[in-house]
Structure 1
């Protein structure tokens, strides 16, 4: 049995944009991914401040310029490359980053228990 699960295809995420995904087995907290060219950064969709999902509107995890991840609940800003909070009530904390692997067919894989 594999210790990974298929999240999506890289082409399912528009370059420079983000996309949310439900958690395994219907869990409340899912994942989200941000694509930057051929790279994808995946995080648990839970703000370190109070544990709520970051998006109020589906798939909207980035600021207007697409340069930072933003929590819609209280406006905290996070770096895309590592999820570190640079401003807001959880400044200095980080989102939980999920290891992601893109295979040679362009499929994005994450650990089986990611977001559980």
Structure 2
């Protein structure tokens, strides 16, 4: 199969990338309360309950950190689509391959350069 054009790649991947980015942003909004600092009111909850709440808050914060990293990768892929550089390896300039892009459209290197 011939290498797709930037227009082909935009048609194949732009909506998918934008939808995933939108879903990440919605998930971030829905879990904002989970990341708020834990109130340490000694009168309302016991020590174990506070520790559990702090652990839940830490896990929600870690998940948000991962979500932010993925969001930045998605935004970068969308920017590469817009300037016509999406799908080509940043190292060697060869086409990354549709199969690899289908697995993760945020990849920036071909299989050979990634290893």
TM-score by length of 1: 0.25
- Higher share of residues assigned strand: 1
Larger Rg: 2
- Higher share of residues assigned helix: 2
